Amino acid sequence: MQSLHELQRGFCAATLFGDGAAVASLSIVAGGLDPQTRIAIYRNNILGNYRKVLAATYPVVHQLVGEPFFDAATDQFVRGHPSIHGDVNRYGGDYAAFLASYPPARELNYLADVARLEWAIDQANIAADAAPLDVSALAAVAPDALAELRFTLHPAACLIASPFPILRIWQVNQPGYEGDGRVDLGEGADTLLVTRGGHGVAIDRIGKGEHAILSALAANATLGVAASQAADVDPEFNLVDALRRHVANHTVVAFRAPSPSTRTGQA
């Protein structure tokens, strides 16, 4: 008699990978329906469930490639990228990376970046809540101490840079979109901010300087370092405007001063 572990390992091989020897090892009661057919029911249920889950997370990718392509890609993704959570809602974060190297999608060079945007939207919906930044506390910081502050972005905030106009691709593929659906891939790169404010998840096109400063702050740089990185990529970058805007839209939600022992220049 198979151990429970052997049975469950064999069941995975039989359903996901169509392993005929594994089906035979399972000692399934035929009872009017052969074991291959019974296993195929589970294969269809399991793969069909992942197709539904990923189509819900990546509706624009699904729309762009069509159902047969999406289903074939998803089945291959599932076989190579095991789900590691009992909560299937957490599955599929590496779908964009998979699509980037999926040979049938080679011509659709923008597809992986569209998937990254859709994952960011999905995650922004379920990220932790955060209170707005305490503006009066920030106003009370001495001007010469501002450069050493570090800032925290909202847990929902995600920055995306793509050489393709992925926001326009996303917009024209929304249900009910009625404008001109054509997109000129040559219309340029996108730098995007996905975050969640008072009205739900928002996607905003931001400048290269804003993208640079928010990326640096997210990586724990001080305001001074982050601002100089923004100025490097955008000489017109306006620090005060950017900070005001991203506090107001709930992207920057907290700040902290260095602890006294690590501050330099203190007597």
Partner 1 sequence: MPTTPELPVTVGIGLRSPHVARVRAERPALGWLEVHSENYFVDGGPALAALDAIRADYPISLHGVGMSLGSADPLDAAHLARLKRLVGRVEPALVSEHLCWSHADGRHLNDLLPLPFTEEALAVVCERVDQVQTALARPILVENISAYLRFADDAMAEWEFVAAVVGRTGCKLLFDVNNVYVNAVNHGFDPLDFVAAVSGDAIAEIHLAGYDASGSCLIDNHGARVAPPVWDLYRATIERFGPKPTLIEWDTDLPTLEVLLDEAALARQILEARDAVAA
- Candidates 24, 27, 135, 232: give the one binding partner 1 (CB under 8 A): 27
- Candidates 66, 68, 80, 129: give the one binding partner 1 (CB under 8 A): 129
Number of residues in contact with partner 1, rule: CB under 8 A? Answer: 50
Cβ proximity to partner 1: between 82 and 143 the closer is 82
Is residue 138 a contact residue for partner 1 (CB under 8 A)?
A: no
Element (H, E) at 191: strand 190-197
Q: Find the shortest distance in angstroms from Cβ 43 to partner 1.
A: 10
Cβ proximity to partner 1: between 48 and 163 the closer is 48
Torsion angle of alpha carbons 40, 41, 44, 48, nearest 10°? Answer: -170
Contact range with partner 1 by CB under 8 A, out of 36-44, 186-194, 211-219, 255-263: 36-44
Question: Does residue 247 sit in helix, strand or coil?
Answer: helix
Dihedral sign (CA 169, 242, 96, 108) = positive
Length of the chain: 267
Is residue 152 a contact residue for partner 1 (CB under 8 A)?
A: no
CB atoms within 10 A of CB 204: 15
Burial 3-32 (b: 16+ CB within 10 A, else e): eeeeeeebbebbbbeeeeebbebbebeeee
- Candidates 21, 80, 107, 128: give the one binding partner 1 (CB under 8 A): 128
Amino acid at site 27: S
Is residue 177 a contact residue for partner 1 (CB under 8 A)?
A: no
Is residue 12 a contact residue for partner 1 (CB under 8 A)?
A: yes
Contact 109, 163 (CB under 8 A): no
Is residue 24 a contact residue for partner 1 (CB under 8 A)?
A: no
Give the footprint of partner 1 on residues 50-109 (CB under 8 A).
50, 53, 82-91
Contact 213, 138 (CB under 8 A): no
Where on the chain is the footprint of partner 1 (CB under 8 A)? Answer: 1-5, 7-9, 11-12, 15-16, 26-29, 31, 33, 35, 37-39, 41-42, 45-46, 49-50, 53, 82-91, 124-130, 155-156, 196, 200
